[in-house]
Every structure is written in structure tokens, then in C-alpha cells.
């Protein structure tokens, strides 16, 4: 039996470093906070490979998943993360709820909070909605993607996966490829990678690269054949067809030819290049199937790591208010994360 044990000294470090009940963006996180999330996720990752995939870390806590946009990975991953931490979780989706009768977002959230929910995980099509909600309710808010703004847990799981595969983030060369303009994943990756000392390039059609993006500390390249050389990681973004208000490129076929990663194009990259994609993949557009399923791809590792990152984020945000002086009924965090398998 392997036990997870976050030592009491680490508890004290965690309390000094993490004071947030909300996770709204990677932009707001310091380098130390990002490192704490990644290190906490590393401790939690092992839980998912046990026969009994559960620790008592959030026993007695309640999490609500509030999704106003479709999701496969993020929603399932948060649900599994909550369950593996022994929290209760409720799932709410816009279709079939009273939002279709005209209820506002803040009223919906206040009603959910009235049922003594500790943390609300929300995905919403409007940029900034998670921050607005955090001002309306006392419950913690975890942003699971707000419009084209940020998708912080995706950014953090991407950082975690890069650190796992390349043993470091400092100095690692990462190229984000494709629809940077509409990508909340790109923004969360850029904030996180730059803070952790990675060298970031963005590559895509000029119409899909935001003006002045260099000010975030990244290089811009419009030629993918040139950009793939010397990169340690290629993080390929989904073409966000549902968010495009206009013709940003002539056709899908042309996009695939210029900015898709095929086996042929991959030959120009380093032999140990890592291929990432947040999903869902448009096969034959951003990536060929041979590349998506090939030896360089870590796409499914990203999904696996997503559970560990979300366990870490739910744990840190939900437990931030669990001061043992105010809540003597709660065991120390060390006791809470000890495995029971
Ligand atoms: N990466 C990601 O956000 O996937 P889902 O839309 O399936 O949650």
C-alpha cells in the first residue's frame, strides 16, 4: 500500500502560499502558487491508480458543477476529482434548469449556494463570468472556462504534463499552434508557462493571432514549418468554429495544409518533441490521426493528469477556509489526505 502523506510542514507552507477560495485565472496566480498546485497534484495523482480510488480530504464538503456550455473532459474530470476526495457533488447543466425560464446567473448561483454548497465549478460562454459570480456568492468559484478569457485548470494540467514529460518548465520551448485569438486554453497556458520560465512561441494564421500578444512575453511566428523546429512541446489548439464571427481563414482544407500537424511536418520537429492537444480534437484539421495517436502524443496523459490537477484545485480552494481554530471538528490536512486503501 502506498500512502499519500503531505507533511505538517508542507501544510504550513500551503497555508502561507494558498489563500484563495476562488480559482478564476492563471493570470492571478504567482509562480509559487502555480508550483503549489502542481506539487499538490503530484501527491494526488497516485490515488487514481489505487484499487480504492478515494481519500477523505474533502469529506463532508459539497461541490456543484455548473456547466452552461458542453464539456466531456472538464466536467467529468471535476466530478471524478470531487468523488476521489470524498466530497459530495451535484451536476447542473443549463438545459433542463430554470435558466431556460429566465433566471439570472447570480440567482441560480445564490440558490445553489443556499443548499450549503462549498465550491461552485462553473463553465460559461461569457468572458469574466466566473469573476462576476465570485463577487455574488460566498462559496468558492473555480473557473472551468469563461468565454475566450481563461481555462485555468486546463492551463495547469498542461503545465503539469509538460513538467512530467520534460522534468522541468524553466527553459522548455513550447509552441502553441492554431486559433490563439479565441482560445482560453492558449491564454491560461501563456500566463502559466511564461511565469514558470518556459520560452513560448505562438503560431497560426495572422487573423487568429491577437494584436500585441508579444506583450505577454511570447514570440510570434506565422510559418509552422519554421516554428516546429527546436520546440520541445507543440500544444495544438482546437479551431473554435463556434466562436468565429467571420472568415478567419479561406477553408478548413487550407487551414489543415498550412497549420495542421501531419506525420510529414512532424519530421521537421525534434525527435523527442511532445504533442499536446486540450481536446476535443478535429482529426484531419489540427492533427492527423497518425499524429494524434502516435508515439509523440500525450493527449490522453493530459486527460489523466486533469483529474489530479482538479483534485489539487478543489482541495486547495475548498480547504482554504478550514482554519482548525474556527473549525475544530476538521482534522488536519495531513490526516485528511492520508490514504485509506
Ligand atoms: N479541454 C476541454 O475543456 O475539454 P471539454 O470541452 O471536453 O471539457
**Residue whose CB lies within 8 A of the most ligand 1 atoms, among 77, 153, 154, for a mutation test:** 154
Name the DSSP class of 238. Answer: P
Nearest CA to ligand 1 atom 6: 71
Nearest to 315 by CA among 119, 53, 77, 135: 119
Element spanning 189, H or E: helix 184-195
Q: Ligand 1 center to residue 71 CA distance, Å?
A: 5
Ligand 1 centroid distance, CA of 118 (Å)? 23
User: In tens digits, what is the pLDDT along the chain, a chain of 341 residues?
Assistant: 445 555 565 677 777 789 999 999 999 999 999 999 999 999 999 999 999 999 999 999 999 999 999 999 999 999 999 999 999 999 988 777 777 788 899 999 899 999 999 999 999 999 999 999 999 999 999 999 999 999 999 999 999 999 999 999 999 999 999 999 999 999 999 999 999 999 999 999 999 999 999 999 999 999 999 999 999 999 999 987 666 666 788 788 999 999 999 999 999 999 999 999 999 999 999 999 999 999 999 999 999 999 999 999 999 999 986 644 434 444 455 555 555 43
Q: Name the segment(s) of the chain with CATH classification 3.40.50.1370.
A: 8-150+302-337, 152-300
**The domain 8-150+302-337: what is its CATH number?**
3.40.50.1370
CATH class of 152-300: alpha beta
Classify residue 20 as left (phi > 0), alpha (psi -120 to 50) or beta: beta
The reported pTM is 0.91
Is 306's C-beta closer than 6 angstroms to any atom of ligand 1? no
How does DSSP assign 121-165, residue by residue? EEEESSTTHHHHHHHH-SSEEEEEEETTTB-HHHHHHHHHHHHHH
> How many C-alpha atoms does 318 have within 13 Å on its Cβ side?
30
Q: Cell digits for 271?
A: 525527435
How many CA atoms does the CB half-sphere of 319 hold within 13 Å?
27
Question: Could you tell me if 65 and 75 are in contact, meaning their C-beta atoms sit under 8 angstroms apart?
Answer: yes
Strand partners, 90: 64
74 lines ligand 1 (CB under 6 A): yes
As a whole number of angstroms, the distance between CA 241 and CA 171 comes to 33
Looking from the CA of residue 151, the nearest atom of ligand 1 is 3
From the CB of 73, is ligand 1 less than 6 Å away? yes
Tell me the CA–centroid distance for residue 148 and ligand 1, in Å.
13
Assess whether the C-beta atom of 65 lies below 6 angstroms from ligand 1: no
For residue 144, the ligand 1 atom closest to its alpha carbon is: 3
Amino acid at each position: 500500500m502506498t500512502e499519500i502523506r503531505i507533511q505538517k510542514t508542507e501544510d504550513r507552507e500551503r497555508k502561507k502560499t494558498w489563500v484563495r477560495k476562488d480559482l478564476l485565472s492563471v493570470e492571478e496566480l504567482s509562480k509559487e502558487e502555480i508550483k503549489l498546485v502542481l506539487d499538490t497534484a503530484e501527491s494526488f495523482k497516485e490515488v487514481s491508480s489505487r484499487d480504492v480510488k478515494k481519500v477523505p480530504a474533502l469529506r463532508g464538503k459539497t461541490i456543484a458543477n455548473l456547466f452552461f456550455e458542453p464539456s466531456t473532459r472538464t466536467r467529468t474530470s471535476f466530478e471524478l476529482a470531487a468523488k476521489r476526495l470524498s466530497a459530495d457533488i451535484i451536476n447542473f447543466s443549463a438545459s433542463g434548469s430554470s435558466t431556460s425560464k429566465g433566471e439570472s446567473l447570480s440567482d441560480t448561483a445564490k440558490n445553489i449556494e443556499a443548499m450549503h454548497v462549498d465550491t461552485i465549478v462553473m463553465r460559461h460562454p461569457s468572458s469574466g463570468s466566473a469573476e462576476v459570480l465570485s463577487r455574488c456568492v460566498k462559496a468558492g468559484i473555480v473557473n472551468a472556462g469563461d468565454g475566450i478569457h481563461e481555462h485555468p485548470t486546463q492551463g495547469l494540467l498542461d503545465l503539469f504534463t509538460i513538467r512530467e514529460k520534460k522534468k522541468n518548465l524553466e527553459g522548455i520551448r513550447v509552441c502553441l499552434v492554431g486559433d490563439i485569438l479565441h482560445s482560453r486554453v492558449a491564454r491560461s497556458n501563456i500566463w502559466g508557462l511564461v511565469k514558470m520560465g518556459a520560452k513560448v512561441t505562438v503560431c497560426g494564421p495572422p487573423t487568429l493571432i491577437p494584436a500585441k500578444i508579444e506583450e505577454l512575453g511570447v514570440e510570434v511566428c506565422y510559418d509552422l514549418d519554421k516554428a516546429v523546429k527546436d520546440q520541445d512541446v507543440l500544444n495544438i489548439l482546437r479551431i473554435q468554429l463556434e466562436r468565429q464571427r467571420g472568415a478567419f481563414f479561406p477553408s478548413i482544407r487550407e487551414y489543415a495544409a498550412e497549420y495542421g500537424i501531419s506525420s510529414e511536418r512532424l519530421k521537421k520537429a525534434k525527435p523527442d518533441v511532445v504533442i499536446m492537444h486540450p481536446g476535443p480534437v478535429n482529426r484531419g484539421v489540427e492533427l492527423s490521426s497518425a499524429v494524434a495517436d502516435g508515439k509523440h502524443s500525450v493527449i490522453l496523459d493530459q486527460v489523466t493528469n486533469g483529474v489530479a490537477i482538479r483534485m489539487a484545485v478543489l482541495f486547495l480552494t475548498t480547504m482554504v477556509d478550514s482554519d482548525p481554530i474556527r473549525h475544530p471538528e476538521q482534522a488536519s490536512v495531513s490526516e485528511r489526505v492520508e490514504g485509506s486503501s
